[in-house]
Amino acid sequence: MIGDLQGGSLADAARNQLRSLGFDSGWAQKIQTNPDDHSRPRHDFLEMKGPFSDLGVSGQLELTFYNNRLMDAQFTPSEPERYFRLLSKRLGKLAETSGQPQRISAEVSLSYYRDAGGNVRFYWDFLPVSKEWKDWVAKYSFVFSPQLNPNS
């Protein structure tokens, strides 16, 4: 994914990797879980956010772990145009249109988004873990309602 971070890696491995790269301070984390929902399987999200530098461009990195495995990374560089050029050199030509996912490997897609303020956010999606989350949502997000039951 971004830098040396690997999609699907455990949160502790990612923390160790960040620490070895010198990014061990200024990070915040937030945990979201569904422990009180006994009708569906438990799932956990861990979000870590902090300062990062990739390809010599500093910025803010946000990592999302689903059930303790790295699912996606979002990087908001301080110099978006320069970062776009450097990333294009490294990965090959990136999509001209923002919001358009582009496969950069068999298991990772990359897209980027521009907001109204001119900030650009690059988004890496580790597809195997992302698919697990989407499958969970498809299977368990339906809320049963007697009014929707055609047999009642």
Indicate yes or no: pTM above 0.85.
Answer: yes
| Domain of 121, in residue numbers | 11-148
Q: Please report the pLDDT score of residue 48 as a whole number.
A: 96
Total number of domains in the chain: 1
Residue 5 lies in a domain: no
pLDDT for position 143: 54
Q: Is pLDDT at 56 greater than 90 in this prediction?
A: yes
Block residue for tokens 């109204």: 116
Q: How far is CA 49 from CA 15, 42, 91, 106, in A?
A: 11, 23, 24, 26
On whether residue 4 sits in a domain, the answer given is no
